[in-house]
Structure 1
């Protein structure tokens, strides 16, 4: 479960931008929060980020991607990952390191993990745990210098295996460091990203439909609820059965994925490529949504409303807010332009973020609506659309077509 995520000096974010899933003391909509094991505070089930185009929403999503990719593959492909060093470009100190930090719960233990890097190496890395609510230093790293407070001999020996361009966590998870294993498992299995590349996201739906009967039942129920006219999705590959990859995932070519429709008692099958962009997008997202709810994942979706009807966005968000549907306290973090959720009867103020860009400096800012000091009865949808909360593009009142 994610408590917060911070990024510093990355693309449009010059200073630290933090998205927190920790609930404030607001007593409204108690069903939107939960009390996790291993943490004293309450966490949010959903957060939504709004803002104009090019204001930082997708950059925040990219920050999640780079952070997770570093952890997952640093041990073997660190040199290539360092190519993703993209600091804020318009300042005098653009060469300073980029930093990521996440606070999360893994296996019931509260952790804080972060690292900094530049184009040449990992400059800093740290991991703290709070097994009994008290801070415990697992390790601190400054370049290639380490500080260990427990299991010193074991961890110092592991540190000798860590190159300047690799993360200690990624390398030492392979050598049975229990805390590093928990971080790796959390990053690999519990924080899930769904980008705008719809085709690449279909693997979860097709993979689970092929091997998990219970998932198939839920997916077919979702197709019916969403009113798509689809009754099933199946593999029509005429080639030999496709073997799972190293992770156990079955990746089907798009032309082999077909959908079943039924109207007036007549059943027909069509290639998924014949479906609308919105339908394909729904099929890509719904696999992650179902698995997230079943397993208690944190699911991060960029541009959830892309090609979507507003009612579908509201329905997916509602699944995570409904205690009956979300029994594992899964979390949904989304970027969107759909203002239907901007309603204080649906979301608390601490669940809404707005990105704004300073067009003079190029810097982006991420602010929580609860920081604005707004009234409980404010129509936040109207306030957002009229620009009172920021995040609205300024469309210049100029002529596009010059007189010829």
Structure 2
């Protein structure tokens, strides 16, 4: 499970920002899971984090930064070259940022309960630093300590790591040691690499939908049990769908058609006739089931952009419910819709520690913080307080301001035309 993610100098995330699944000491609600660690202790962890904020406040950049870290771990050895340099996407509104490193760090717990911290700093041409710490008995063990400014960049305190000399000699200055080691199947480091490979899966509802639709179709064909689960999620969404059927075209490619009910009759529609909302929900089902089945961390940018708020809330509930989410899967999503802060009955869908807000400062840099930092009351309506601006992170636009600005612009243009 992912515990924390830290990042700096990536897109609008200029200063170091932290996103944490760890439950604050004074806030352990019904949604928290108790994670057993290898040292015998238990750590309360949230299964879901939601990131809210105004347009262009940096919500999506948090998701992008997580994707960037995963891609760096998986592809640095193959994709980064001395000719092209290292892709960084540093903060663009400060000329000094280009000369500073981009920073990534993740804390996570493996299946055996051991907590790990892995991170690195990148410049345009080399990996400036890289580190890997383990906490098997609650105390930090340093496995990798890399600093490009030293005469010997690599240090392996405690000599716990196998093939240290080989790794130090064969890891390029512009590639991560973790990637290099995993490419040769290093027995100790490959499981760390695999954690990134099997987590931080990205779902953006408005892009790559055909691929996700195709994956959900494969889940339909996988087994009778898998088909039943997909069809149940289609039915529970109240789209008037009774089931699905899969055919194959002349080239043998699978084609799905959904069975709709109405007036006591069933109608099978061609896929192109389905609504955007239905196709978006169908495309999300496959990744949802995959994450729940494997206990993965799923990233969904703009969860509410193509789904009704009720569907979006149900996605959250899937991860919150321990009887459904039995493998400890986690969800990070961004959204605009404030109704996700409240259940239809007026309660809280998410706890204050699960709700994170993005807001840009005067420099255009994103600041990320949980609503818990404002210490809302136990009975406080989080949606009402958010919309009232009590936590910030809402557009600074008064009622009618957009129309007045547009009218003023039109009047100015008319006056300038008359002067000419």
Q: TM-score, normalised by structure 1?
A: 0.90
Q: Does 1:50 align with 2:52?
A: yes
Contact (CA 8 Å) 1:66, 1:84: kept in 2 or not? no
Shift of 1:355: 0.3
* 2:118 aligned to which of 108, 113, 117: 113
* 2:241 aligned to which of 219, 230, 233: 230
Gaps of 5+ in 2: 415-420
The equivalent of 2:417 in structure 1 is none
* In structure 2, C-alpha distance between the alignment counterparts of 1:81 and 1:67, rounded to whole Å: 18
The equivalent of 2:153 in structure 1 is 145
Shift of 1:88: 1.1
* Structure 1 residues 193 and 36: alpha-carbon distance in aligned structure 2, compared to 1, 3 A threshold: farther
The equivalent of 1:323 in structure 2 is 322
The equivalent of 1:347 in structure 2 is 350
SS in 2 for 1:304: coil
Contact (CA 8 Å) 1:8, 1:16: kept in 2 or not? yes
Contact (CA 8 Å) 2:162, 2:188: kept in 1 or not? no
Shift of 1:216: 1.5
* Structure 1 residues 115 and 301: alpha-carbon distance in aligned structure 2, compared to 1, 3 A threshold: same
* In structure 1, C-alpha distance between the alignment counterparts of 2:101 and 2:186, rounded to whole Å: 27
* 1:400 aligned to which of 395, 402, 406: 406
What is the total number of aligned residue pairs between the two structures?
Answer: 391
Shift of 1:272: 2.7
* 1:134 aligned to which of 135, 139, 158: 139
Contact (CA 8 Å) 1:232, 1:259: kept in 2 or not? yes
Shift of 1:10: 0.7
* 1:376 aligned to which of 362, 375, 378: 378
* In structure 1, C-alpha distance between the alignment counterparts of 2:86 and 2:372, rounded to whole Å: 36
Gaps of 5+ in 1: 243-251
Q: Which has the larger radius of gyration?
A: 2
Q: TM-score, normalised by structure 2?
A: 0.86
The equivalent of 1:87 in structure 2 is 90
The equivalent of 1:248 in structure 2 is none
CA shift digits 1:120-157 (9 cap, x unpaired): 22221111111222211111112271011224561221
Shift of 1:235: 4.5
CA shift digits 1:304-329 (9 cap, x unpaired): 11121111111111111122212222
Shift of 1:234: 4.9
* Structure 1 residues 303 and 152: alpha-carbon distance in aligned structure 2, compared to 1, 3 A threshold: closer
* In structure 1, C-alpha distance between the alignment counterparts of 2:72 and 2:250, rounded to whole Å: 36
